[in-house]
């Protein structure tokens, strides 16, 4: 399983009013050292593939077919190493699938292993 991050931004030559407003507000708050401010979207998800290359290829197809408007947006893809699940219960059907684990434990009185405080782990 791989963690996929897709970063989507407007083309530099296409004005984005929200980007200008936020950049001006930050400068007004005395963050004057900002350079090349860009406002965009970040999409993250886990992808169950055997190789990093397969994960990258699928993410690329998702961008081309649905996620990115190539006429006005650019994108970059980051594939992180296999998701290292901190839970010691390797036999759990949701091991390595954080979203499934959180959904399953939502109705239980104890939090998922990755959301527990260090002092709660024995």
Of residues 1 and 54, the one with the higher pLDDT is 54
- Token readout for 84 is 């290292």
Contact between 79 and 7 under an 8 Å Cβ cutoff? The reply is no
Statement: residue 122 has pLDDT above 50: no
Mean pLDDT of the chain: 84
For residue range 70-85, list pLDDT tens digits in order: 999 999 999 887 656 6
Distance, in Å, from the CA atom of 60 to the CA atom of 15, rounded to the nearest integer, reads 25
Statement: residue 6 has pLDDT above 70: yes
Q: Where in the chain is the domain with CATH 3.30.1280.10?
A: 1-84
| DSSP structural state of residue 118 | G
Which whole-number Å values give the CA distances from 114 to 85, 89, 97, in the listed order?
8, 12, 11
CATH class of 1-84: alpha beta
Query: What backbone torsions phi and psi does residue 88 show, to the nearest 5 degrees?
Result: -75, -10
Statement: residue 104 has pLDDT above 70: yes
> Mind giving me the DSSP string for 23-51?
HHHHHHTT-TT--S---EEEEEEEE--SS
Q: 116 falls in which pLDDT band (50, 70, 90)?
A: low
Where do we find the tokens 């059907």? 93
Is the pTM above the cut of 0.75? no
For residue range 34-87, list pLDDT tens digits in order: 888 889 999 999 888 888 899 999 999 999 999 999 999 999 999 887 656 677
């Amino acid at each position: 399983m791989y963690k996929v991050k897709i970063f989507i931004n407007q083309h530099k030559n296409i004005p984005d009013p929200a980007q200008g407003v936020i950049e001006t507000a930050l400068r007004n708050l005395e963050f004057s050292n900002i350079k090349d401010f860009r406002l965009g979207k970040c999409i993250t998800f886990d992808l169950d593939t055997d190789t990093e290359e397969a994960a990258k290829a699928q993410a690329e197809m998702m961008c081309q077919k649905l996620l990115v408007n190539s006429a006005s947006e650019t994108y970059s893809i980051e594939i992180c190493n296999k998701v290292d699940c901190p839970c010691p219960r390797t036999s759990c059907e949701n091991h390595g699938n954080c979203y499934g684990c959180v959904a399953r434990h939502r109705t239980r009185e104890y939090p998922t292993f990755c959301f527990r405080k260090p002092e709660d782990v024995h």
